[in-house]
Amino acid sequence: MRKNSGLIYAKVTSEGRGPGEIVGYVMYSWISSLCASITKLAVKESYRRQGLGEALMKAAIQKCRTRNVLRVCLHVDPERIPAVSLYEKLGFQIEVLVASYYSVDRNAYRMYLEFDG
């Protein structure tokens, strides 16, 4: 992992079941001294809607804040309504619709969360 990036993961363990299972993760990086980016958030389907994604995002945002960045950005498919809703709940705003971001027929919202100086 590069010095300007990070990974936080969520793991569940069952008693007597070994090291546990990773059920979600978030990846982030510092693009510059002013801006950070959430590059990937994933939660295993059977563990969704239990607060893991929100907890992972909050942890990543907090890590980014320790770098004194002014904003955190991310891209999300507009059709992923639960993801867009989660990001809005955390204070992210839609900046622009980026045409053909993922592929010719798949767009993305660029969203951002701005911090007070």
Q: Per-residue pLDDT tens for 51-78? A: 999 999 999 999 988 888 889 999 999 9
Q: What is the CATH number of domain 5-114?
A: 3.40.630.30
pTM for this one? 0.87
Q: How many CB atoms lie within 10 A of CB 74?
A: 23
Task: Give tens-digit pLDDT for 31-51.
Answer: 777 889 999 999 999 888 889
Tokens (6 digits) for 53: 């994604």
pLDDT above 70 coverage of the chain, percent:
94
Question: Whole-angstrom Cα distance, residue 17 to residue 112?
Answer: 40
